[in-house]
Amino acid sequence: MKKSILSLLLACFLQINLAFAQNVMKGVVSDANGPLVGVVIHDKDNAKGTTSDMSGKYALNGAESGHTIEFRYLGYVTECGMGW
């Protein structure tokens, strides 16, 4: 049965900071076993994306309030949420 990363993301989902007058969404993706490496984080409204690093951390540049953010990882259910 596929795991859902949505519940995992809600706890860590999205600390947003302004950097160089650009919105940056930061967070950590993990499950019960620890950080998830290589999760694809994609802003569906502006076609920007990134992946989580070896610590499960990511920073998505250009994220705006109300944008749809998608999280994809092999073996897990793809989940979407609203930025901010």
Q: Residue 22: its pLDDT value, please?
A: 65
- The helix (run of H) or strand (run of E) holding residue 40 is strand 40-43
Q: How far apart are CA 48 and CA 61, in angstroms?
A: 7
Domain spans in the chain, listed from the N-terminal domain onward: 3-82
The pLDDT assigned to 80 comes to 87
The structure's pTM equals 0.71
| Residue-level pLDDT at 3 | 56
pLDDT at position 17 = 38
Task: Give me the tens of pLDDT residue by residue for the chain, a chain 84 residues long.
Answer: 445 554 444 444 444 333 344 688 899 999 999 999 999 999 998 889 999 999 999 999 888 888 899 999 999 998 888 765
Res 49: pLDDT: 93
Query: 3-82 architecture in CATH?
Result: Sandwich (2.60)
Q: Which two tokens stand for residue 36?
A: 């998830």
